[in-house]
Amino acid sequence: MSIKIKSPGTVANLVCGFDILGLALDKPYDIMEFELIDTPGVVIENRDDFNLPTDPENNVAGVVLLAALEKAGINKGIKVVIEKHIKPGSGLGSSAASAAGAAVGANKLLGNIFSRDELVQLAMIGEKLATGVKHADNITPCILGGITLIRSIHPLDIVPLASPDLYVTVVHPQIEVRTSDARQILRKQVYLKDAIKQWGNIAGLVAGFMSNDKDLIGRSMEDVIIEPVRSILIPAFDEVKQKCKEAGALGGGISGSGPSIFMLSDAEATAQKVGEIMKSVYDGLGIENYVYVTTINKNGVEEIA
């Protein structure tokens, strides 16, 4: 018996919601195929050029599958074939797609024995391997689809939010920023005046999603804590952001830990125009880049034929 799933890319943080907000994308996505095998343990076959580890202890899908087998308490193994399209270190939840895909794939193979929260807990083991931290802001929208809020990690408290019909434009300049590195450069303390601004924006953004208030969504996507530090790792960040907003994007910023930049728009024509602007900035700098004009994925990890 084998199961094939597609596991979507994600945009974590949504600018002001570091480690707590995220959305799933219709593009790009990974494909993973799982098979129950008689030999205990995990076998990984990577079908891509990313040189990712095949040793299960060093692959985010591997550690999640090992944990799922142990939790299920069965004397079997799982083979997984990973067709990865989300480039590692892109800021588009590459590690989360493998971790979340592995949790959901194992669950389907083992007869749907895990709850939603157990799936997220299992997938967080993969994120811990990739980034050193158990953050769930990519994993949760990847598993559930739509836009999600992690109100708390301990105890886990997931709040699915409403997903307005918005277009998402993403540019991935082809430089690698490891999430673990992009976390290490962050300051550990914040000024109260910055915290006040930040929680105003987070509350505004959540209210904007729930009430489909696009202007509120746009003006709440402001980050006075993380973006000023991380944006220095991304060439032409300010220029891209300013030009996209002038072209009519509601707002946006760094996708996850970068280097990808995302923008939300309420019309497809605007989203396309934004993509052209992003491309022209990076083409002008001679930086290879890839642009996605897509929508919010409402289903999360799903089985395919």
Ligand X SMILES: Nc1ncnc2c1ncn2[C@@H]1O[C@H](COP(=O)(O)OP(=O)(O)O)[C@@H](O)[C@H]1O
Q: Which are the catalytic amino acids? A: 127, 179
Q: Vertex 58, ends 54 and 64: CA angle to 5°?
A: 95
Report whether 95 belongs to an annotated binding site: yes
Q: Does 88 bind ligand LJ64HWYM (CB under 6 A)?
A: no
* Closest CB to ligand LJ64HWYM among residues 65, 177: 177
How many CB atoms neighbour CB 72 within 10 A? Answer: 16
125-134 burial code (b ≥16 CB/10 A, e <16): bbbebbbeeb
* Closest CB to ligand LJ64HWYM among residues 3, 301: 301
Binding residues for ligand LJ64HWYM, total number by CB under 6 A: 16
For residue 148, what are the contacts with CB-CB under 8 A and spacing of at least 6? 21, 22, 23, 137, 140, 141, 158, 159, 160, 161
Q: Does 131 bind ligand X (CB under 6 A)?
A: yes
* Residue 18 contact among ligand LJ64HWYM, ligand X, none, beta carbon within 5 to 8 Å by kind: ligand LJ64HWYM
User: What are the φ and ψ backbone dihedral angles of 163, each rounded to 5 degrees?
Assistant: -115, 100
For residues 237 and 261, is the Cβ–Cβ distance under 8 A? yes
| CA neighbor of 48 nearest in space, from 59, 39, 63 | 59
Report whether 97 belongs to an annotated binding site: yes
Q: Does 93 bind ligand X (CB under 6 A)?
A: yes
- List the x/- string, 45-74, binding to ligand X by CB under 6 A: -------xx-----xxx-------------
| CA neighbor of 231 nearest in space, from 263, 208, 253 | 253
- List the x/- string, 45-74, binding to ligand LJ64HWYM by CB under 6 A: ------------------------------
* Residue 52 contact among ligand X, ligand LJ64HWYM, none, beta carbon within 5 to 8 Å by kind: ligand X
| CA neighbor of 85 nearest in space, from 125, 28, 37, 41 | 28
Binding residues for ligand X, total number by CB under 6 A: 21
Structure tokens that stand for 121 in this block: 């807990």
* Closest CB to ligand LJ64HWYM among residues 7, 138: 138
* Residue reference for tokens 């807990």: 121
Which DSSP string corresponds to 44-57? EEE-SSS----SGG
Q: Does 27 bind ligand LJ64HWYM (CB under 6 A)?
A: no
By CB under 6 A, the residues from 100 to 159 that bind ligand LJ64HWYM are 135, 137-138
Which residue's C-beta sits nearest to ligand LJ64HWYM?
A: 256
- Which chain residues interact with ligand LJ64HWYM by CB under 6 A? 12-13, 18-19, 91-93, 95, 135, 137-138, 179, 182-183, 256-257
